[in-house]
Amino acid sequence: MYERNDKISLLHPVLVAKVNNMLSELKHSGLPFAVFETWRSPSNQQAVFDAGNSKAKAWRSWHQYGLAVDFVARPLVGSRHVWSWSPDHDWQTLGKIGIRHGLRWGGNFQSIVDMPHFELPCPKSIYEAEALVKTDGVLALWDLI
């Protein structure tokens, strides 16, 4: 069963600070975006791959390393905020804010445009990261950032 994590505290501390800064900036600007997903387990990643909803298999997404975060638009419909991935929302401004905080934005990806997605740059390739995390744990990877 897929269990979505939206806890910011599951992310690398540097990314936690950046996401919190983004959220206060978004609030200040009146842009209704929220955090949708943070850490994603390898088995959850494999599940979204198997369902055809991601190009990345287990261990091939930075979500498995606490280095990626997905946002969602939270427009007010009637009296309540709903989740929305409509392209009508101001994803471009969201992207600019994330980039200004030093993140890589999925809206600029060449392979598959992923506007809700942001990553903290890692000095290791995802293959090196997988090997390191499997032998020494995620903190060994986090120490490099």
User: Which residues contact Zn ion (rule: CB under 5 A)?
Assistant: 68, 70, 117
Helices (H), the chain: 13-28, 42-50, 91-100, 126-136, 138-142
**Min separation Cβ 36 and Zn ion, Å:** 9
Residue whose CB is less far from Zn ion, 112 or 136 = 112
Q: Which residue is nearest to Zn ion (CB)?
A: 117
Give the Cα-Cα-Cα angle 95, 47, 43 (nearest 5 degrees): 95
**Min separation Cβ 63 and Zn ion, Å:** 6
**Min separation Cβ 83 and Zn ion, Å:** 15
CB 36 within 8 A of CB 116: yes
Residue whose CB is less far from Zn ion, 43 or 136 = 43
